[in-house]
């Protein structure tokens, strides 16, 4: 069936392409070219050999036509077994590896030699069928990745020299203008230059609601324009779009093995030769040393070979991992390898950056407290000075002034006071805007009660005044994300302790933490302090994950056992530096990520335990002659392999909304 082929590693066994079976040193990847079942020659081999085997059994059992039955069994074995034997012998001769294909070849030949031709043919046919089903499951995962690629159209309509033309996306250059009509898929990443619409970004971010787009907003390849006409200036070539990077990352993730997969690989490498030696002992010792029946013990040795075939065991881990990774990708969560899926399931500490992760990362004015002047006058003075600053706090004050129709005025002698605030002359009066430290140095009486109250509410307080008098307070806060509290609760339900990390002041950090139910807070941290803290948490708790914005927190993300970048869509740094990327600014995806990691590892454990228990039980029953070749291959190989495949496929039911979608 899966014939040896020349690849980057030379000629190798069938199970190295899109393979499940680590005994053949294969990786379960999506590199195998997915084909229609009607174009698969193995499907037609099954259509031929199935009736041949069934007819042979009828001839043998019902009609007693032994010779005719033998010829049909032989035809079945040759047609279905040619590629199996070729793969097994090639692996043995060229690589000196004992593979499952070789085990099955020996079992079939041995069955014919002892007169059990029907069972030998059944061994080959059912093994062929099992491998066919495994390969189809592999192609199903491959089609998940291929489906991502197909999200973006191959052709784009561009505007050049005032004329429209359809060109292949590979021929579109950065700076070209592409035209997107209502209902069209967007072919390339870019920025809206003309028009407005809503865009369905679910294929990239997993978000259910369309995102509003207007001039200056980013759009991404593979997303769908809903109702408006857009002209988009291309910012990335087809090979560098967010979608293409996601596909490459998922494909690479399938090749990065988890510790459990590596253990199964090492185990299988020694397991197969051990099985062959045990089978030889069963075939030789009882008849030749103890004088027992030769036919019976050779038959039992062959049955043991088939029973102990490690296919299902080797399948148990990678197919579950890939199912989990591809499901996560469809839901806007990019996991870069099964290693991180496994490590995440054991996480006990989740370090969480505050700004931009637990909060929305956008400061807004919440309180304007004037003293001796109107609110409008207070905002006018503060906004006039802050108009010269690029600080996020300044931008929040300017936005508030704009909302209230207040226009900043020119300021003379403006000066920035690093770490403290700003100062300047407004209408001939020297005005200061800054923090407590600034006004303490000015020996100005600070309204401590009001400042403390606001800070306890998680707000940053900006003081406005002159050299002797405070004329008002402006409170600013980065609003907590709507899903943050629920996400924290779900993490705690899973036995994960959240820890807040922030560069903000202690009072503000503690106020936010209290609202969210976080009991461990580390505030006023510089980037290097966060790295040191992650290092300490890792030493104390073994498994630590961190979630941050993927840019400012990159060193700390790299230090954690699992680094999770939030809002990675459009961010090359976030996608490339983190182990896991949440493609949109939706903290609830973190809950989904934890659920799918634990569900995946739960299914891996179920598969491994089931494979070991069933195979061990059948192997024990072989010795008293209670297991036939038929039962060994139907239950111990094909049936068990199919069971672990179907069990792993349940991971496709895990979604972002339900806690557990297990039927």
DSSP letters, 431-477, are EEEE-HHHHHHTTPPP-HHHHHHHHHTT-EEEEEE-SS-EEEEEEEE
Q: In terms of Cα–Cα distance, which of 428, 442, 420, 431 is closest to 385? A: 431
Q: What backbone phi and psi angles, to 5 degrees, belong to 476?
A: -130, 140
Tens digit of each residue's pLDDT (9 = 90 or more) over 178-206: 999 988 989 999 999 999 888 887 666 55
* Per-residue model confidence (pLDDT) at position 251: 62
Q: In terms of Cα–Cα distance, which of 342, 431, 441, 447 is closest to 386? A: 431
Task: Kindly tell me if the per-residue pLDDT of 302 is higher than 70.
Answer: yes
Higher per-residue confidence, 133 vs 92: 92
Task: Kindly tell me if the per-residue pLDDT of 207 is higher than 60.
Answer: no
pLDDT band of residue 257 (cuts 50, 70, 90) is low
Q: Crossing angle for the helix pair 484-493 and 506-516, nearest 10 degrees?
A: 70
Measure the CA–CA gap between 157 and 432, rounded to whole angstroms.
55
Of the given ranges (51-55, 87-91, 234-238, 574-578), which has the lowest mean pLDDT? 574-578
Between β-strands 520-522 and 497-501, what pairing exists: parallel, antiparallel or unpaired?
Answer: parallel
* Per-residue model confidence (pLDDT) at position 35: 53
Task: Work out the number of other CB atoms within 10 angstroms of the CB of residue 531.
Answer: 19
pLDDT band of residue 27 (cuts 50, 70, 90) is very low
> Is residue 462 within 8 Å of residue 450, measured between CB atoms?
no
Residue with tokens 């809903």: 226
pLDDT band of residue 13 (cuts 50, 70, 90) is very low
pLDDT band of residue 663 (cuts 50, 70, 90) is very low
* Per-residue model confidence (pLDDT) at position 267: 77
Tens digit of each residue's pLDDT (9 = 90 or more) over 129-151: 877 876 766 565 555 555 555 66
Which tokens hold the place of 582? 């949440």
**CATH numbers and ranges of domains, the chain:** 5-146+250-322+601-653 (no CATH), 155-240 (2.70.150.10), 323-359+481-590 (3.40.50.1000), 361-479 (3.40.1110.10)
Highest mean pLDDT among 204-208, 260-264, 412-416: 412-416
- For residue 180, the cross-strand partners are 230
Provide the whole-model pTM: 0.68
* Per-residue model confidence (pLDDT) at position 264: 73
Measure the CA–CA gap between 355 and 567, rounded to whole angstroms.
13
Residue with tokens 């069938």: 14
Q: CA of 647: how far to CAs of 291, 382, 602, in Å?
A: 45, 63, 11
Share of the chain above pLDDT 70, in %: 85
Higher per-residue confidence, 287 vs 244: 287
Q: In terms of Cα–Cα distance, which of 18, 658, 43 is closest to 650? A: 658
* Per-residue model confidence (pLDDT) at position 452: 86
* Per-residue model confidence (pLDDT) at position 356: 79
Determine the average pLDDT of the residues in 373-395: 89
Task: Kindly tell me if the per-residue pLDDT of 530 is higher than 90.
Answer: no
Task: Work out the number of other CB atoms within 10 angstroms of the CB of residue 226.
Answer: 16
Measure the CA–CA gap between 538 and 543, rounded to whole angstroms.
6
Measure the CA–CA gap between 268 and 20, rounded to whole angstroms.
12
pLDDT band of residue 176 (cuts 50, 70, 90) is very high
* Per-residue model confidence (pLDDT) at position 634: 78
Tens digit of each residue's pLDDT (9 = 90 or more) over 541-565: 878 999 987 556 777 888 888 989 8
Determine the average pLDDT of the residues in 239-259: 68
Tens digit of each residue's pLDDT (9 = 90 or more) over 229-240: 999 999 999 888
SS3 343: helix
Which tokens hold the place of 51? 């009736």
Q: In terms of Cα–Cα distance, which of 462, 540, 544 is closest to 501? A: 544
Which tokens hold the place of 486? 């629920």
Residue with tokens 């299902």: 312
- State the DSSP code for 524: S
What's the mean pLDDT when you consider all of the chain?
82
Residues sharing a CB contact under 8 Å with residue 599, sequence separation 6 or more, in sequence order? 324, 651, 654, 660, 662
Tens digit of each residue's pLDDT (9 = 90 or more) over 631-659: 887 787 777 878 888 888 888 777 766 44
Measure the CA–CA gap between 438 and 436, rounded to whole angstroms.
5
Measure the CA–CA gap between 529 and 460, rounded to whole angstroms.
22
User: E strands along 181-335, which residues?
Assistant: 190-195, 197-200, 211-213, 218-219, 224-225, 230-234, 333-335
Tens digit of each residue's pLDDT (9 = 90 or more) over 433-471: 998 888 888 877 888 889 888 888 878 899 999 888 899
Calculate the CA 322 to chain-centre distance.
9
Which tokens hold the place of 497? 């302790």
Measure the CA–CA gap between 216 and 573, rounded to whole angstroms.
21
Q: In terms of Cα–Cα distance, which of 476, 482, 477, 481 is closest to 463? A: 476
Measure the CA–CA gap between 505 and 460, rounded to whole angstroms.
8
Of the given ranges (24-38, 79-93, 151-165), which has the lowest mean pLDDT? 24-38
Task: Kindly tell me if the per-residue pLDDT of 662 is higher than 70.
Answer: no
Judging by beta carbons within 10 Å of its beta carbon (0-12, 13-18, 19+), is residue 347 exposed, middle or buried? buried
Task: Kindly tell me if the per-residue pLDDT of 521 is higher than 80.
Answer: yes
Is 466 in the active site?
A: no
Higher per-residue confidence, 499 vs 121: 499
Measure the CA–CA gap between 99 and 104, rounded to whole angstroms.
9
Higher per-residue confidence, 590 vs 251: 590
Task: Kindly tell me if the per-residue pLDDT of 266 is higher than 70.
Answer: yes
Measure the CA–CA gap between 53 and 173, rounded to whole angstroms.
59
* Per-residue model confidence (pLDDT) at position 660: 43
Residues sharing a CB contact under 8 Å with residue 175, sequence separation 6 or more, in sequence order? 233, 234
* Per-residue model confidence (pLDDT) at position 319: 78
Task: Kindly tell me if the per-residue pLDDT of 22 is higher than 50.
Answer: no
Judging by beta carbons within 10 Å of its beta carbon (0-12, 13-18, 19+), is residue 399 exposed, middle or buried? middle
> Is residue 329 within 8 Å of residue 246, measured between CB atoms?
yes
Residues sharing a CB contact under 8 Å with residue 552, sequence separation 6 or more, in sequence order? 353, 527
Residues sharing a CB contact under 8 Å with residue 414, sequence separation 6 or more, in sequence order? 385, 388, 422, 423, 424
Q: Which of 353, 478, 553, 561 is an active site residue?
A: 353
Of the given ranges (267-271, 296-300, 577-581), which has the lowest mean pLDDT? 267-271
Determine the average pLDDT of the residues in 504-526: 87
> Is residue 124 within 8 Å of residue 77, measured between CB atoms?
yes
* Per-residue model confidence (pLDDT) at position 146: 52
């Amino acid at each position: 069936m899966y014939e040896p082929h020349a690849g980057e590693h030379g000629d190798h066994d069938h199970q190295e392409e899109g393979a499940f079976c680590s005994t053949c040193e294969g990786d379960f990847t999506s590199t195998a070219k997915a084909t229609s079942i009607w174009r698969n020659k193995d499907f037609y081999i099954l259509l031929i050999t199935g009736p041949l085997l069934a007819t042979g059994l009828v001839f043998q059992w019902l009609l007693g036509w032994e010779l005719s039955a033998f010829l049909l069994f032989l035809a079945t074995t040759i047609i279905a077994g040619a590629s199996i034997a070729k793969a097994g012998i090639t692996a043995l001769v060229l690589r000196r590896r004992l593979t499952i294909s070789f085990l099955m070849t020996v079992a079939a030949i041995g069955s014919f030699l002892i007169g059990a031709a029907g069972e030998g043919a059944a061994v080959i046919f059912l093994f062929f069928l099992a491998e066919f089903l495994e390969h189809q499951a592999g192609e199903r995962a491959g089609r998940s990745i291929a489906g991502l690629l197909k999200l973006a159209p191959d052709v784009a309509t561009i505007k050049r020299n005032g004329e429209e033309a359809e060109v292949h996306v590979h021929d579109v250059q950065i700076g070209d203008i592409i035209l997107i009509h209502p209902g069209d898929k967007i072919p390339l990443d870019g920025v809206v230059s003309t028009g407005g619409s809503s865009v369905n970004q679910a294929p990239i971010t997993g978000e259910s609601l369309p995102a509003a787009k207007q001039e200056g907003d980013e759009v991404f390849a593979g997303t769908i324009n809903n109702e408006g006409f857009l002209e988009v200036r291309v910012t990335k070539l087809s090979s560098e779009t967010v979608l293409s990077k996601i596909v490459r990352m998922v494909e690479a993730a399938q090749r990065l093995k988890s510790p459990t997969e590596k253990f199964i690989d090492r185990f299988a490498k020694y397991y197969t030769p051990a099985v062959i030696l045990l089978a030889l002992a069963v075939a030789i010792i009882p008849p030749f040393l103890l004088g027992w029946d030769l036919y019976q013990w050779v038959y039992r040795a062959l049955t043991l070979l088939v029973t102990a075939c490690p296919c299902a065991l080797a399948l148990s881990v990678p197919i579950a991992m890939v199912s989990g990774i591809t499901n996560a990708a469809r839901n806007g969560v990019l996991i870069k390898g099964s290693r991180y899926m496994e490590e995440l399931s054991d996480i006990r500490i989740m370090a969480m950056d505050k700004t931009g992760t637990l909060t929305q990362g956008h400061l807004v004015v919440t309180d304007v407290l004037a003293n001796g002047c109107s609110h409008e006058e207070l905002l006018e003075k503060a906004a006039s000075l802050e108009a010269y600053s690029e600080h996020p706090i300044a931008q929040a004050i300017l936005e508030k002034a704009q909302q209230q129709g207040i226009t900043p005025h020119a300021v003379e002698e403006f000066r920035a006071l690093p770490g403290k605030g700003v100062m300047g002359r407004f209408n001939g009066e020297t005005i200061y805007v800054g923090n407590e430290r600034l006004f303490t140095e000015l020996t100005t009486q600070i309204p401590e009660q009001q400042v403390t109250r606001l800070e306890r509410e998680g707000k940053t307080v900006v003081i406005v005044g002159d050299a002797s008098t405070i004329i008002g307070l402006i409170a600013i806060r980065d609003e907590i994300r709507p899903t943050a509290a629920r996400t924290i609760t779900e993490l705690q339900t899973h036995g994960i302790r959240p820890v807040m990390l922030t560069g903000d002041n202690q009072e503000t950090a503690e106020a936010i933490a209290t609202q969210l139910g976080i009991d461990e807070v580390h505030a006023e941290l510089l980037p290097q302090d966060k790295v040191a803290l992650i290092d300490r948490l890792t030493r104390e708790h073994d498994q630590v994950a961190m979630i941050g914005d993927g840019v400012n927190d990159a060193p700390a993300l790299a230090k954690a056992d699992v680094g999770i970048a939030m809002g990675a869509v459009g961010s090359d740094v976030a996608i490339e530096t983190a182990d896991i990327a949440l493609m949109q600014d939706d903290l609830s995806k973190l809950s989904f990520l934890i659920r799918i990691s634990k569900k995946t590892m739960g299914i891996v454990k179920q598969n491994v335990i089931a494979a070991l228990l069933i195979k061990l039980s059948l192997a024990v029953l072989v010795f008293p002659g209670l297991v036939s070749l038929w039962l060994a291959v139907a239950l111990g190989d094909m049936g068990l392999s199919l069971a672990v495949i179907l069990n792993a496929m349940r991971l496709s039911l895990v979604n972002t909304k339900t806690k557990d979608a297990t039927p």
